[in-house]
Amino acid sequence: MAGIFSFRGIYYNPELFSQLPYLVTPPYDIISPEEQEKYYNDHEYNFIRLELGKTFPDDTPENNRYTRAKSYLNNWLSEGILVREETPALYLLEEIFSWEGQSYVRKSIFASVQVEPYEKGVILPHENTLPKAKEDRLNLLRETRVNTSPIMALYDDSQNQAFNILKEKASLMFELTDEGGRVNKFYKVVDPEALLKVQNYFKDQKLFIADGHHRYDTALTYAREMEKKGVNAYRVLMQLIPFADPGLLVLPTHRIVLKAQSSPVEILEKILAYFTIVEVPLKEILNRFATLKERYVFGMCLKDKAYLLYLKENDPARVLPELPEVIARLPVTVLHELILKPAGIGEKETLSGEYLKYTRNAQDCLTEVVEGKAPYSFLVPAPTAEDVANVALSGNKMPQKSTYFYPKPLSGLVIHPVHD
C-alpha cells in the first residue's frame, strides 16, 4: 500500500537553531498579509521568503515570488544558512500545546511518501480543491523542486507502533517554542533497521489526507509533468499521524449568518418538526454547548437569548435519504440541510460568500451577534477523525469548511527535495 521513504532533508544550519522561533512560519494558507509582513521583518532568513514570498506590481515571468523563492533557496544553501542532511532519515515531531485549558501532545512522523493517483485507493482525500490555490503551489514547486511544508495525513496505528520504533533510535535535533506557545521537539532517525521496520509497517496502510489537499494535487500534477521528461518526481513530504493519537484535535467550524433570509421565529417554526428546541440564557450558551456529549445538537445565538437545537432522529440518514449516508451523518450536513436551507441559506447563498462567515472560536459567534454585526449564529459540533476516514473510504467529499486539524505544523522545520 503506502510507500514511505527516508530522505536527505534540508534544514536551517544548527548554528541558527537558537534563532528558530524567528525563522519558522505557519503554513502558507493561514498567513495573512499582515503576518507575512511581520515574518519578513522578523529575520532576514525567515522561511516566509520560501513559503509565501511577496508579490510586486512589476513582477515578470523571470522575476516573481516563485523565482525569488528559488534564488533564496539556492543562495541560502550555498551560504550555509541551510544545510542538507548527508544520510537519508525519517524525522519525528512532538508538539506540546494547549487548547481550551487542556494540554496535549501530538506525535508524528515526517517522511517522503510515494505519490499515488487517488483511484489506486492508497492515498485518500476527503475534500475538493480550488484551481487557483493549486496553481500557486504548482508554480512554487516547479521553480524550487522542493516541498516547503508537509501534507498532514492520518493512518491506522492504535498503539503508535511506528513512532515508538523510530523514537528508540531518534536523536533530538532541536526544540523550539513558537509564537503560540507550542513546544516543538524535532528528532532525526537514521538507524537502517528502524527505518526498514517502519517502511514495512506502512506497506499495509492507507493514508488519509487530513490537511493539504491542494499540495497533494500539486505533487501529482508535477510528478506527471516530470514523468513526460523522463524524471521520477513521485514523492511528497507528509506529516503522518495515527487516528488514535491523543493530540489529534479536529476543531469545529461555526457559522455566523451575515444576511438573514428568515427571522429567528420563522426558523424555529420551520425546524420544529426535526428538532427539540430548548431556550438557554445567552450568558450560558457557550458553557452549555461545550459540555454537551450529543453528536447532533446545535447552538443558536441571538442578541438577547440562545437556543439548543437537538435533532430528534438518532440517524440523520433517515431524514436525508437523498444524500450518501456518510455525508448525511456529518453534523455540518445536518446544520446546512435541516437548519440553514429552511432559513433560506442554500448552496447558492453559501457559495456566494455573502451570507456566512466561518470561525473556530465559539466566542465569536456570541460577540458578533451581541454587537449587532450579525443577526444570529450557529455553534456546530466538531467532526471526528473517523468521519474523515469514512468519507474518504466511501469516495465522497465533505462539505466545505468541515474540518480544521489543530494545530497546523510549522513550515521551515525540514525541507523535502522532490528530486532526491
Given its phi and psi angles, is residue 353 left (phi above 0), alpha (psi -120 to 50 degrees) or beta?
A: left
pLDDT in tens, 303-325: 999 999 999 999 999 999 999 99
Note the pLDDT of residue 330. Answer: 96
Tell me, what's the pLDDT at 301? 98
Q: Could you tell me where in the chain the CATH 3.90.1530.10 domains are found?
A: 4-249+406-417
Domain 4-249+406-417 has CATH 3.90.1530.10: yes
What is the rounded distance in angstroms from the CA atom of residue 143 to the CA atom of residue 67? 6
The CA distance from 92 to 72, in Å, is 26
Q: Is 98 exposed, middle or buried (0-12, 13-18, 19+ CB in 10 A)?
A: exposed
* CB 144 within 8 Å of CB 73: yes
- The CATH classification of domain 253-381, taken from the options 2.60.40, 3.30.1760, 3.40.50, 1.20.272: 3.30.1760
> How much is the pLDDT for 132?
74
Question: Could you give the CA distance from residue 359 to residue 322 in angstroms, rounded to a whole number?
Answer: 29
Where, residue-wise, is CATH 3.30.1760 in the chain? 253-381
pLDDT computed for residue 100 by the predictor: 85
Check pLDDT > 80 for residue 157.
Answer: yes
pLDDT tens column, 95-109: 999 998 899 999 999
Which residue is listed with cell 485518500? Answer: 124
Question: What are the tens digits of pLDDT across the range 255-307?
Answer: 999 999 899 999 999 999 999 999 999 999 999 999 999 999 999 999 999 99
110 vs 152: CA distance, rounded Å: 9
According to DSSP, the residues that pair with 10 across neighbouring strands are 84, 415
